[in-house]
Structure 1
Amino acid sequence: TPFEKYQAVKKAYADAANEENAQAMGKYMRNLFPFYGLKTPTRRELSKPFLKGVTKEEIAWDLVDLCFEDDYREMQYFALDYLKRVEKQLTFSDLPKIKQLAETKSWWDSVDSLVKLVGQVFIRDEENKEKTAALILTWARDPDFWVRRTAIEFQLGLKEATDPELLGKIIDLNLGSQEFFINKAIGWALRDYSKTKPAWVRSYMASRELSPLSRREGSKYI
């Protein structure tokens, strides 16, 4: 059952805990979450048996929720590794669930993993592409800035598959923000797309009042 799997992962992580690493990792994350102190290669090795064959099963949202309710940050990382494995099965109907995760124990490390899942839904679920775009435009206005950050960044790495008109609309809704994580995301989204369409990014940046941070980040390659 999802609960048994959750408990088994937790036990494997707890047995391998490293106090010294845990303190350093907690500090790096501003002590927002307790850590077991598992560095990424160790965590991935421990997770392997629990991620075997998951792509052939239905998505276990119960397991994901249990991991996101857990105090320890590595449990959220496990849930995100799991979702990355099953991302080909994600569709438009899973987006509210992903939004809920972006609002839970929110920090850049979890949100920036969720972003990639949204991008995959956008390019894979062809049938619902317009509905996905419309939904993400509502996220771009959400009161929670982590949800807005997800909207701004969701096309990262999509290169030619990026919808520049949608990107521009989402960023326009977030101009004038005082929030570091929003202005950084705007710069990051523009910088990423500038590798594919520098002319579009140049012209967009020339016609907008961007924060100094967004402008600096966005113009790195152009």
Structure 2
Amino acid sequence: MKPAFLAELNALLAPLTDPGRAAGMRAYMRNQFDYLGIGTPQRRAAAKPLLKTFKGIGAQRLLEYARELWRLPEREYQYIALDLLALHWKELKPADIAALLVLAQDKSWWDTVDALAGIIGDVLRHDHEFMDDALKHENMWVRRIAILHQLGWRDKTDEQRLFAYALYCAHEKEFFIQKAIGWALRDYARHAPETIRAFTLHNKTRLAPLTYREANKHL
């Protein structure tokens, strides 16, 4: 990362830091990460003009900057890395997904992992490259990304793959997997409510109670 970039970024963030708020944010995330104490709207408003200047630098450099931001201790820097990738996702290709999955396995928690799932979904653009393998990955967060990568695809959703992924992981006891399956099914239910109702009823004994409740929350 160019030192000038980090200096400019820190100059934008410095007036917004709030130690009191940082303590609350850290506690909310189970004391896993340090924080500067900057809320999402304020962070994005401050950093976006700078991040927009990265347009056209290409996938390799975008990922380099994201990795450098990921190494910094405060959680806001990981969020800024995600904002950078989300802003310029059109410069990424399916071949870059492997690098995004590496990020997902570092400082992993639902906040960064779910944002990466959204970016990967945008990059895939209704394809599924790498996701079948990701579903079988030993890392639970990578499996969560595979389950969630079709969020928001509506009629472009691969229904058979959605259901196959759900059943493949249905036996898992991990909360974040059970929740992800329910979320993915609930999201598709907005487009195909009767299909989800029928699928969850038919597989009620295989799906975790949490998954079933989440999938049917708005049906």
Is the Cα–Cα contact under 8 Å of residues 123 and 161 in structure 1 kept in the other structure? no
Q: Percent identical across equivalent pairs?
A: 34
Is the Cα–Cα contact under 8 Å of residues 13 and 46 in structure 1 kept in the other structure? yes
User: Is residue 201 from structure 1 mapped to residue 196 from structure 2 by the alignment?
Assistant: yes
Is the Cα–Cα contact under 8 Å of residues 56 and 91 in structure 2 kept in the other structure? no
- 1:97 Cα offset (Å): 0.8
Residue equivalent to 2:16 = 16
Whole-Å Cα distance in 2 between the matches of residues 161 and 196 of structure 1?
Answer: 10
User: Is residue 165 from structure 1 mapped to residue 160 from structure 2 by the alignment?
Assistant: yes
Whole-Å Cα distance in 2 between the matches of residues 184 and 38 of structure 1?
Answer: 28
Residue equivalent to 2:140 = 145
Residue equivalent to 1:50 = 50
Whole-Å Cα distance in 1 between the matches of residues 175 and 40 of structure 2?
Answer: 26
Aligned residue among 66, 70, 73 for 1:71: 73
User: Is residue 25 from structure 1 mapped to residue 28 from structure 2 by the alignment?
Assistant: no
Is the Cα–Cα contact under 8 Å of residues 6 and 66 in structure 1 kept in the other structure? no
Amino acid paired to 1:79: A
User: Is residue 176 from structure 1 mapped to residue 176 from structure 2 by the alignment?
Assistant: no
- CA separation of 1:2 and 1:161: change in aligned 2, threshold 3 A: farther
Q: Residue deviations 1:15-66, cap 9 Å, x none?
A: 5321111011111111110000001122112203321232332132111001
Q: Any stretches of 5+ residues in structure 2 without a counterpart?
A: none
TM-score, with structure 1 as normaliser: 0.91
Residue equivalent to 1:61 = 63
Amino acid paired to 1:92: P
Residue equivalent to 2:210 = 213
User: Per the alignment, in what secondary structure is the counterpart of residue 55 of structure 1?
Assistant: coil
User: Per the alignment, in what secondary structure is the counterpart of residue 80 of structure 2?
Assistant: helix
User: Per the alignment, in what secondary structure is the counterpart of residue 113 of structure 1?
Assistant: helix
Whole-Å Cα distance in 1 between the matches of residues 7 and 68 of structure 2?
Answer: 9
Whole-Å Cα distance in 1 between the matches of residues 172 and 14 of structure 2?
Answer: 40
Is the Cα–Cα contact under 8 Å of residues 26 and 34 in structure 2 kept in the other structure? yes
Q: Residue deviations 1:123-144, cap 9 Å, x none?
A: 16xxxx36x1xx2011111111
Whole-Å Cα distance in 1 between the matches of residues 140 and 11 of structure 2?
Answer: 34
TM-score, with structure 2 as normaliser: 0.92
Is the Cα–Cα contact under 8 Å of residues 103 and 146 in structure 1 kept in the other structure? yes
Whole-Å Cα distance in 2 between the matches of residues 185 and 200 of structure 1?
Answer: 18
User: Is residue 154 from structure 1 mapped to residue 152 from structure 2 by the alignment?
Assistant: no
Superposed structure 1 runs of 4+ greater than 2 Å apart: 1-4, 10-16, 52-57
Residue equivalent to 2:114 = 112
Whole-Å Cα distance in 2 between the matches of residues 13 and 199 of structure 1?
Answer: 47
Q: Any stretches of 5+ residues in structure 1 without a counterpart?
A: none
Amino acid paired to 1:210: L
Q: Residue deviations 1:71-129, cap 9 Å, x none?
A: 110000000000111111221111101101111110011011111111112216xxxx3
Is the Cα–Cα contact under 8 Å of residues 68 and 79 in structure 1 kept in the other structure? yes
Amino acid paired to 2:212: R
- 1:203 Cα offset (Å): 2.4
C-alpha RMSD of matched pairs (Å): 1.6
Range moving further from structure 2, 3-12 or 194-203:
3-12
